[in-house]
Structure 1
Amino acid sequence: MSNKVLNDFLTNNLEDLSEKGLLNTIDVIEGANGPEITINGKKLINFASNNYLGFATHPELIEAEVEAAHKYGVGAGAVRTINGTLDIHRSLEKKIAEFKGTEAAIAFQSGFNCNMGAISAVMKKGDAILSDELNHASIIDGCRLSGAKVIRVKHQDMEDLEAKAKEVTESGEYNKVMYITDGVFSMDGDVAKIEEIVKIAEKYNLITYVDDAHGSGVMGGGAGTVKHFHMQDHIDFQMGTLSKAIGVVGGYVAGSEQLITWLKSQARPFLFSTSLTPGAAAAALKSIELMQENPNYVDKLWENANYFKEKLQEIGYDIGVSETPITPVIVGDESLAQKFSQELIAHGVYAKPIVYPTVPLGTGRVRNMPNAGHTKEMIDQAIEVYEKVGKNLGII
């Protein structure tokens, strides 16, 4: 029999979430998460996945994972610091560092683990972190865990960043100061002003940390936002995932040899959680090799994204300030965004609503993630649905 206090807490709060329309509903995909998906027996054009390059179902990645499982087994068997570091992990880390243009890299079990472990390994009580106000939840949690003073910086506002950097560094209160930002912001698709950030950081001696979860495999020929701006020698931490464009699962931090050595001795998820599966490491390694060998994967992603965005704007949609394949269709009202998504799905396009508190109140939207696997026919079909549904709901 469950505890009454717990039972009451869960019942009351689940009812409250349900009444507010905030209780998660989880759709189950029948088969692979590709450019098209099947849910409840219905085929849908998929614009909700982070599988930017279509690598989650790429035959060469599948083959690499299967071969590694046969060679190493399905699990690594231990944490990295005991005897869970296999040669495939080292090969992956060397490849990441080469691709990102850094001295070294460290692989984690997830991108969330990267931010939880890497930030708190370096930033401590007595330090300060300047953090863009729209940074990802994992950054927010990693900053809180560190014990450092967290100071919010207005989104992409370089004047505010400089003013706060000047204030905290001249105060003499803090041992060290970090500025942390997403490379590509996941809700609006805008890109961090890396060159301006570097100038301010070097002026005030800030440690720099770029979470490039949505930039890796997308920007800079796939090597990421920092590489796109040729700033790999000026950014201290380049964090990314292996689970979005890379198509597998896991995360990494790339940086100096000294930084990576420190993280391998201090980052708690690395120390206390069994390492990345050998199959995932091998598949991620193959993914990076494919991007290096064939730029057409990334080129196709951008071709599809630009075409999709152009067509949406032609029929009258507001796609905000997106500079990347992330394509929000902003409708404003939260209830309308929910209804919009439901109608799109009913007509064969799978795109999910994003509403407050994930985005500011009054900026409800449906977020689209076109990928390299979409055909022109799929995109054209989706645009027809968008036009029909938008007119029916009075959005366009």
Structure 2
Amino acid sequence: MFFDLTEQLRIREKKSLRRIRSVVDGPQGSHVTIDHHEYLAFTSNDYLGLANHPDLVQAVCEGAQRFGVGAGASHMLHGHFSVHHELECALAQFVEFPAALLFSTGYMANIGVITALVGREDAIFADKLNHASLNDAALLSRAAFIRYSHLDLVTLQQRLAVSRAKRKLVISDTVFSMEGDKAPISELIALCEQYHAMLLLDDAHGFGVLGKQGRGSLFLEDHNAKHSPNVVYMATLGKAAGVFGAFVAAQMDVIETLIQSARSYIYTTAAPALLSQALLASLKLIEEEDWRRQALIRNIMQLREELKSLSWRLMASETPIQPLLIGNNEQAVQLSGALRERGILVPAIRPPTVPQGTARLRISLSAAHQPQDIECLGQTLRELAAS
């Protein structure tokens, strides 16, 4: 009965596409313990090193004492706690939008936003390298799904100009999760205003890291995104913020529409209130401790200097996501395995997550990494390249 599944798995294994989970024992950090072995890790999206911060741990304990462990119900059925509301207000103020709405994950946020805002008579315009959650949401919405080549705004403009859709929605990552490069936000806003389209920006990898006080990609330049009624902003809270969840910020009517119509918000149990307690502490650290972002910038610069002599190309990125392009799936897996044998974790990323022929090592940097950690990675990669 399941022979076809077995055969599919065998083919995946043969193509070096099988994914394997590792079990971490202990807190997230620049060094992690797996199977009783300690590794230097370049695998986490904990960009500011907050996932094990004592202030967040203390906040969770206090939250559990006050609110218990489980929310017990959806936000619509008395699972919306006072600390959820407090966090939504704090997040809206932090990113300078009129209102914000919490979701359990970034995936659920994108699903909820897109399926609530567009449908059969509408059109979605999407960068081809957008995150899978944006693509899946577009398909679920049943709107026309029109994709343009990565960062190709000329094509985007042409397709917006000829569209006769009732409602238009452009969706884009701000920092592309497997490339590390950034979307041209100002230009996207201008196009959406010109062609009366909404713009959903997924800032999963920018929030907490980029912009003044870590307020995100919208604060990198003077593009007034936060003041444009066309913009819907999504950011996750399990990466730089170090905890869990996501939020959407937008105009009041958009947020109210999501409360009424976003199925991934309405029909799921609310996240534990204790997480919101921790996120309030995290938001304070993000705003006040700029040294974390400065350390992250230094780490990015050091890594690019360390790896510039390699035959493998380090892709253009100014963000903590530093992809080392290998090309061949098997070679990328072998290189990742060789690093692991030497006590260093760097994941191999292969199709379908990235396009065919662009398998890579995805190096994720954190403010928690020390100069000697990055030097160790560079030296080991140079040795492996020479072997």
TM-score, length-normalised on structure 2?
A: 0.96
CA distance in 2, matches of 1:294, 1:330: 33
Partner of 1:43: 38
Partner of 1:118: 113
Question: 2:328 aligned with 1:333, yes or no?
Answer: yes
CA distance in 2, matches of 1:144, 1:43: 41
Aligned counterpart for 1:233 among listed residues 217, 227, 230: 227
Question: Any idea what the Cα deviations from partners look like across 1:230-249, whole Å, max 9, x if unmatched?
Answer: 42112521101111111111
**What's the CA shift for 1:314?**
4.3
Question: 2:357 aligned with 1:362, yes or no?
Answer: yes
Cα RMSD after superposing both structures: 1.3
Question: 2:128 aligned with 1:137, yes or no?
Answer: no
Partner of 1:180: 171
Aligned partners of 2:300 and 2:318 also within 8 Å:
no
CA distance in 1, matches of 2:235, 2:13: 34
Q: SS of the residue aligned with 1:232?
A: helix
CA distance in 2, matches of 1:321, 1:375: 22
Partner amino acid, structure 1, of 2:373 = M
Partner of 2:16: 21
CA distance in 2, matches of 1:112, 1:293: 28
CA distance in 2, matches of 1:39, 1:151: 42
The correspondence of residues 1-396 of structure 1 with structure 2, limited to 5 A, is 5=1, 7-168=2-163, 172=164, 174-221=165-212, 222-230=214-222, 231-234=225-228, 236-315=231-310, 317-392=312-387
CA distance in 2, matches of 1:333, 1:339: 10
Aligned partners of 1:101 and 1:227 also within 8 Å:
no
CA distance in 1, matches of 2:323, 2:342: 19
Aligned partners of 2:324 and 2:360 also within 8 Å:
yes
CA distance in 2, matches of 1:112, 1:61: 24
Partner amino acid, structure 2, of 1:117 = G
Partner amino acid, structure 1, of 2:3 = D
Q: Which runs of 5+ in 1 are unaligned?
A: none
**What's the CA shift for 1:117?**
0.7
Question: Any idea what the Cα deviations from partners look like across 1:313-346, whole Å, max 9, x if unmatched?
Answer: 1455411121211101112222111111111111
CA distance in 2, matches of 1:104, 1:303: 34
Describe the shift of the 1:316–1:9 C-alpha distance in structure 2 as closer, same or farther (beyond 3 A). closer
**What's the CA shift for 1:197?**
0.9
Q: SS of the residue aligned with 1:57?
A: coil
Partner amino acid, structure 2, of 1:154 = S
Partner amino acid, structure 1, of 2:208 = G
Question: Any idea what the Cα deviations from partners look like across 1:231-276, whole Å, max 9, x if unmatched?
Answer: 2112521101111111111111011111111111111111110111
CA distance in 2, matches of 1:327, 1:275: 34
Identity value in percent: 34
Q: SS of the residue aligned with 1:61?
A: helix
